[in-house]
Amino acid sequence: MGTPDRLIEATRELLWERGYVGTSPKAIQQQAGAGQGSMYHHFAGKPDLALAAIRRTAAQLRETTGRLFDGSGTAYERISAYLLRERDVLRGCPVGRLTMDPDVVASEELRAPVDETIGWLRGRLAEIVQEGLDQGEFSPSLVPEEVAATIVATVQGGYVLARASGSTDAFDAGARGLLSLLAPRGTSV
């Protein structure tokens, strides 16, 4: 891995752990094993590097999630795969956590890839719910955009509850509860 990639990966990890303010250039350089000159040779400064890291995090989330959404199975099965997938619940969502970072939210440029990714996620989920409606899988009273927002809110809220309690139980309960509400007739969760 080259120096720019090491710097981006170090920044991604530090942003997830510490947030923007807690991610100092010195910490990035130490974690990446890169000198100050290397950092500023490849990036204009911390905001530029943070933007590259946030974009990479967003792209990886889209790739991972997109594979689940594009997989085989019914709409319910693909939503279930997303809700029940392996994740580091107690660390939280690497993209969702950025929404709680005042410095990221205050910067239009840093916030943009976060907003775009959450919008993409909601849009893809709405498409899958619509597929389920078209196939007669879900109750016709469901509104795809509202269900998609509920799924994203359940996941992000589940992270918050899990982190607050120090246990994944609250996240798991939220996912199972939502799936029981979406379950096609005659299906058990």
55 belongs to a structural domain: yes
75 belongs to a structural domain: yes
Q: What is the pLDDT of residue 36?
A: 84
188 belongs to a structural domain: no
58 belongs to a structural domain: yes
Q: What is the pLDDT of residue 185?
A: 67
189 belongs to a structural domain: no
69 belongs to a structural domain: yes
Q: Which amino acid is at 160?
A: V
Q: How many domains does the chain have?
A: 1
In angstroms, the Cα distances linking 16 to 23, 92, 152, 175 are 9, 8, 19, 22
Beta strand ranges found along the chain (DSSP E):
none
pLDDT digits (tens, 9 = 90+) for 40-73: 899 998 999 999 999 999 999 999 999 999 999 9
Among 23, 150, 168, which residue's Cα sits nearest to residue 91?
A: 168
pTM for the model: 0.91
Other beta carbons within 10 angstroms of residue 30's beta carbon come to 12
Enclosing domain of residue 32 = 3-182
110 belongs to a structural domain: yes
pLDDT digits (tens, 9 = 90+) for 134-186: 999 999 999 999 999 999 999 999 999 999 999 999 999 999 999 999 998 65
124 belongs to a structural domain: yes
CATH code of the domain containing 51: 1.10.357.10
The C-alpha atoms of residue 2 and residue 22 are separated, in whole angstroms, by: 24
